[in-house]
Amino acid sequence: MQLGEAPPTPQGPLPTYLANTTDMCGRFSQADIAELDREVLWILDGLQTTTPRYNVAPSQEAAVIRHGGLGNRIDQLRWGLIPSWAHDPKIGYRTINARAESLTQKPAFRDSFATRRCAIPVAGFYEWRKTPHGKHPHFIRRRDRRAMLLAGLWDRWIDRVTGPLETFTIITTTPNAVVRPLHDRMPVVLPESGLLAWLDPRTTDPTTLGEFLVPCTDQELEAYRVSTHVNSPANEDPRCVEPVEP
């Protein structure tokens, strides 16, 4: 997703390379996932009620499902994966997404793909469509309005002053027919039936893992235009997802 000319995040302006890159899923909504996910996330122990988020942007924290301890759990991690070996945390600006086709080749993602996979529960995600009249934001969600589970990876980086920082990235793949008019990439949407296997670090078979890294069916999703109100990450309210007339 191209953020284009969207205003800066509360943490400061996005670097130029982040604003202009074409391989990006760069915003999503986690509004009301506590309600949407009652059936989807039944496997979680001690599911925490999360604060509704309508406009999650890179470098912000979001609810992430991962394996830990005796089972799966939801934690708040920062968006933009910082590998454990990184010397500069600014690498997280370049790793908000990971291409499915190169997970095993990229040093930033290779180890996490093997043992630190996660899922990001979302109500939907945003894409900006380029037109002669500017960039028009759209919201993509499931037709049945249930939560989507986006495939992701996570890692833990240690700062010698502030301590550990846990971060995540969203895996992208080629788009289906719903997303293709908006962008040439889309997040990997995990099937509910495969969530346990995806999160389990004991799942190591490349063929099994590769079966997840494909676009979801066209019938699962719908897209509609929303207001440019969503362009600013400072706007966190239901207006972000309200449909507008073309």
pLDDT of residue 69: 72
Given 5, 35, 118, 127, which residue is catalytic?
127
What is the spatial distance between Cα 112 and Cα 90, in angstroms, rounded to a whole number?
18
Architecture of domain 16-235: Alpha-Beta Complex (3.90)
The verdict on whether 127 is a catalytic residue reads yes
Whether residue 61 contacts residue 76, with contact meaning beta carbons closer than 8 Å, is answered with yes
Query: Which one is catalytic: 25, 118, 216, 240?
Result: 25
Residue-level pLDDT, tens digit, the chain, 246 residues: 332 233 333 344 444 334 334 456 889 999 876 655 555 555 454 444 557 899 999 999 998 999 887 778 888 999 999 999 999 999 999 999 999 999 999 999 999 999 999 999 999 999 999 888 889 999 999 999 888 999 999 999 998 888 899 999 999 999 999 999 999 999 999 998 888 899 999 998 888 999 999 999 999 999 999 999 999 999 999 999 999 987
Instruction: Give dist(CA 192, CA 72) in Å, integer.
Output: 14
- The residue assigned the tokens 């509910």 is 192
- Give the pLDDT of residue 8: 34
**Domain boundaries defined on the chain:** 16-235
